[in-house]
Structure 1
Amino acid sequence: MSDLTTIALTPDLVRGAAELERTDRGLLPHRLPAWARAQCADPQLAMVETQPSGVRLAFRTAATTIELEALPTKRVYVGAPARPDGVYDLVVDGRLAAQGSIAGGDRLTVDMMAGTATLEPGEPGTVRFAGLADAPKDVELWLPWDETTALVALRTDAPVEPRPADGRRRWIHHGSSISHGSTAASPTTTWPALAAGLGDVELTNLGLGGSALLDPFLARILRDTPADLISLKLGINLVNTDLMRLRALGPAVHGYLDTIRDGHPTTPLLIISPILCPIHEETPGPSLPDLSAWTEGRLSFRAGGDPAEVPHGRLTLTSIRAEIARIVAERAEHDPHLHYLDGRDLYGEDDHARLPLPDALHPDADAHRLIGERFAARVFGDGGIFLAP
């Protein structure tokens, strides 16, 4: 320890966060700015926007040892198997060099059946990476995508300087828990992070579990955030929450796109409809815990709506895809930079037969890789809409 120096955690060392809040327990990255958080008191949103999907420390150093002391928040779901500790990915000169985890921390116990959550405070821990090359290198330390993480201290055995901008295009993506990371293996293997690496772009991930709900404040964030590329993955959370009816969906999507275009009139903008999710293809939400799985110690979901109500405007993934495709097609007549991608091109029926959704809603680590690679090929590859000019 004595050979390590504590490095000041300054905003220029952090990428992918909107704000850093200094608390009495550490520096807390937020993916939404304070003004937006003030407009929505939803506990789900408050939790997921502090889970630092896509957030990483980025610096240049010749250090052979790097330590990060942090305070994670572990989630425990009553009746479900224990979740693994969050993973920290150390990327050196663009390649994954090492991984680590921090045990302990705060403990958030969630009872989905009772609709309650209880927080038990814990202690911070340290993830340590040693044996690195004694030479200048570009380092990115990606934080766990699924654990709220307060940064306590960064320690190294050589000076650190913020990594300068490298001229890569800036991609901002917004979506649901699938974009957030669902059950990916690590922070650099969520499908957006994988796609960003393959496309050689700088990612800001606004995938927010359970919270891709066409909130106006999110459209304003997208409007005001510098970006060379923007994508939106919309639909599944509107069904999960049974938030709106078909009558409200069209105007909400139009208003969302209008707001984004106020700040990005010609930025390539891709709208992605939901990937295949059999329980909600023809059956409306809300999504409810599957009690039969619960008795077996598994976390799984079922569709709680009635298909007979679809003609009256209850939303399914099928009806959402049709409406979004129609809107994009109509607007694209006057907006050549607006594009549509059917989510089933990323994960469809054949994929579900081979890689089923473990909890009936979320893709697993292998499916994340599949989605990320397909997205990169279709969007960043030859003929793709995000292909570099």
Structure 2
Amino acid sequence: MKFPAFVNDLSIPPQQYHHQLRNWTSEMRANDPVVYNEENNTWVVFHYDDVVRVQSDFATFSSEHTVKDNQGVSSENGSIIEMDPPRHRAMRSLITQAFSARTINDMAPRIQSIVDELFQKVVAHGQMDWMTELANPLPVIVIAEMLGLPRDKWPEFKQWTDAIINKTSEAGYAQEQFANYFSQAIEEHHKHPGTDVLSRLIAAEVDGKHLDHEGLVNFCFTLLIAGNITTTNVLGNMILCFDEHPDQLARLSEQPELASTAVEEILRYIPPFRSGPNDLLVGRIATTDVMIGEKQIHKGESIEVSRISANFDEQQFTDAQQFDIARTPNRHQSFGHGIHFCVGAPLARLEIKTTLETLPRYFREIQLNHDQPLKQVESRLIFGPRNLPLSFQAR
């Protein structure tokens, strides 16, 4: 099997692309839910239960050596996303501390303040580009402040992050700039520790030992990336959802208590990660011969999961094709599952919910300008709109 041509076509407007993807994955669930993709020699699973199984059973489906560089070579040291227990458990505990419920709750007033500030800058203009003026800056400013880094550096942090996650030609330069910047920040935090996340990481211990300099730099990379890429794209996809379903935005205005379930439905309906053949990221590698559905997977073969397919699986979600902000339960797979569940999920949810609740306080009659063609983010990993020109009336 080869993926249909549209899957890699970044020129398709994001809403049209998403509609085609939903239709295609529906066909795959019905006709070929476990299939071998000849383009990158990887098995792909489409059923919800199989997606959960592959992500949950780390003993059978390993994450080791699943991230590759631009030449298709696995990294030597590996990041936390390509670790199995027990190594993963020790490293994950540090990130869990950094993103603890208390830390996230303590950030709530500051996140509200930043959202207010960004909206106040545009409210008198009657128009804005949602991505440029809110979705891009908000998550990077938040995670920078959590790490104790200056917020005015956010445009550079965003530029470097995008280059690294999208494996562009600037990725090497971005990694070098990040490493130099974080090295200086770590040295400064050693001398003058505070209550920020970076200071906590410096003081933290794993198996009785402090993280070395390289480990701290790698964690800064992980936290900065985990703290912004998902949120930025979900904030953009949120506008796409409500543009397609304005009745649900009106419903939310009448029932603001639905904000939390609305966030989960946005995450389910348009996930922030691309679903297609990828030669830089492999979901898992089979550690033994195993059956998935009716297909034999051999030891050493790669398996990818289609999260968007899982999110629309009719066996899991009633009226799966409907966008319903009151949907519950909503066990979507947009943040993953198992030990690699997205560590930044609580922070992303808080930022999206805060934005969603704040939006009607400033704007009414919000409209997406379709006269300007919408474009997808130029990424092989991330899915979302690159631009979102909005017009509105101020409250």
Fold-level match, TM-score > 0.5? no
Q: Which has the higher contact order (CA 8 A, sep 6+)?
A: 2
Q: TM-score, normalised by structure 2?
A: 0.24
- Which structure: greater strand fraction? 1
Greater helix fraction, Structure 1 or Structure 2: 2
